[in-house]
Chain A
Amino acid sequence: MKDTEGYVTADGRQIGGVLMEMRNITLKFGGVTAISDISFDIREGEIRAIIGPNGAGKSSMLNIISGFYTPTIGEVWYKGAKRPPMKPYEVARMGVARTFQNIALFEGMTVLDNVMTGRLTHMHAGILSQAIWWGKARDEEIANREKVERVIDFLEIQNIRKTPVGRLPYGLKKRVELARALAAEPSILLLDEPMAGMNVEEKEDMSRFILDVNDEFGTTIALIEHDMGVVMDLSDRVVVMDYGKKIGDGTPEEVRNNQDVIDAYLGVPH
């Protein structure tokens, strides 16, 4: 598959060229090698899953993509250019948004304010304008509120928009976190275990939202998930990691029949 060429998924969606590419990524913490020499790409419009047993280095990989870790060796290519080492907030401003494995919402703020923080990178009014709540600051506040309301509508959290986040149950918090990431209108959305700790209904809801986001906004999604059923249903292509190495990469069917993957998950007799 060439970088610029896309492919058509099993359900008939057209996937574009390469949006983000990891080239020979190695990550070491002192003497421990968390990730060794992994390469894969994420294409425009696809849902890409990263799976693997516990401690395989999936979250570390996500942290590299979002700029929280800098790889020891290797390059991250984004939108056709090599990404220089940068701070996480700079990466976020380039259109990479994410959610967290352990919910990382701003507990002291309302749902609305939390989602509004997702728009921070789109707001540029100066401090004086904000202090007098006039001119650019007020206009921005209203324009961005409209965008945020669209996301709130989309994720069906209208009724809790003014509730402090600390009072919400777990499943809703996960949804608010997704809303905050979506509000940034990212080019690529990273989801770190979006279904962890959810019951079946909540998982169904979340899966529907992920598919809808991808479908309606065309957002590229990279996700880590342990629920194999969900992963196989949702994703277009899957990367499988084990002990920091890539052991499989391809469509869910290809991965499912890959002997290394089966060994990693089921174990092999020694």
Chain B
Amino acid sequence: MLYRTAGQFKTSYQADQALFPIRQDAFLLGIILILAWVVFPMTASEFTFQTLLIPILIYSLAALGLNILTGYAGQLSLGTAAFMGVGAYACYKMITIMPWMNPIVAILLSGVFSAGIGVAFGIPSLRIKGFYLAIATLAAQFFLVWLFEKWAWLYNYNASGAIQVPNLEMFGTYVAGPQASSIVQYYVVLFIVSLLTMLCINLTRGNLGRTWKATRDMDIAAELIGINLMKSKLTAFAVSSYIVGVAGALFVFMWRGAAEPNLFDIPLSFRILFIAIIGGLGSIMGNYLGAILIVGLPVVLNLLPAALGIPIDSATVEHLNIMIVGSLIVFFLIVEPHGLAQLWRLIREKLIIWPFPH
């Protein structure tokens, strides 16, 4: 009923190729956008901003970047965290060298550096595939984290070896640093995440997206129909690393406030890979669903016993949490190996033809 598509006719290819050929999808997105832009910020507490809203958005963006590379172009990567680090350190250097710089511009520009590094580490993909490529990207992971630690110029020779986000002002309000308020940071993150998501949706449904998917599904056939595999793979690395780099800059500047090199170690890479896999490889929306599950669920589970008045000490909650999240991940992967996005796609398909089975 809700998803009845009968009566929605298309009279031009432009209409058929519109972002939301089905009216209900546009409506649904409208609701989500209103929630994200108006309802959440008006109702959220400081705690909600810091533990749920901002990190979920940032993790979604990082997973989106990885998804472009792994889900769309089919190139496995385990170096996501390191590329986030490149974005964060690039942003830090730009801000400290040019303090007058607009923070949003700096964050968006920092992705360019990680894109460059990503392309350099993507060159092995021209020769190797699958798990072997994943191992090659591990080299980036270890090398870059080592570099963040040893190259003192990157952290301005701080004694602590960490980078500290200074107070950054934009139009008279603080957007980053200790003085910035959560709601402003939330809006900055939301703006950048919305913008990049929009661009990614367009890229993946257009010519470049088809090139990537063709490369992923069957590279030999792709080459024989006229795709330059080198160009296809390297643009995927560039676009992916750009987004991941921006996510890294947001991660440090809009959320953590400070970062040590080991923050960008391999557990973070895995976390983002899990988000992308559980959300659904080759899907944009999946990244958000995955981030909500992996980042949001533990927070909610932590609060649950106290909210229900069950007396359990916090250490036990922590352990239970890990077990529950772990088994949920296994459960979702068994139910739908293609991720939460595919689950939603199937539900939607069923809704469209409901109440008929076919």
Contact = CB atoms under 8 A, between A and B. Distances in A.
Interface of A: 66-68, 87-89, 92-93, 97-98, 100, 104-109, 113, 116-118, 120-121, 123, 125, 127, 130-133, 137-138, 140-142, 145-146, 149, 180-181, 184
A200 B199 CA distance: 48
Contacts of B220: 68, 104
B224 A109 contact: no
Given A106-B213, A108-B282, A113-B213, A132 B202 contact: yes
B203 A107 contact: no
Contact of B217 (A98, A106, A116, A118): A106
B206 A130 contact: yes
Nearest to A124: B207
Given A88-B223, A104-B221, A131 B199 contact: yes
B208 interface: yes
Query: Which 4 pairs, one residue from A and one from B, show the smallest C-beta to C-beta distance?
Result: A92-B226, A104-B221, A106-B217, A121-B226
B210 A145 contact: no
Given A106-B213, A108-B216, A89 B208 contact: no
B228 A89 contact: yes
B98 interface: no
A98 B223 CA distance: 11
Contacts of B316: none
Contacts of B223: 87-89, 92
Interface residues of B, number: 32
A contact face: mostly helix, strand, loop, or mixed: helix
A182 to B, nearest CB: 12
Nearest to B21: A162
Contacts of A149: 13
Contacts of B206: 125, 130, 133, 137, 141
Contacts of A142: 12-14, 17
Contact of A93 (B210, B226, B229): B226
Contacts of B217: 105-109
Nearest to B201: A133
Nearest to B225: A92
B125 interface: no
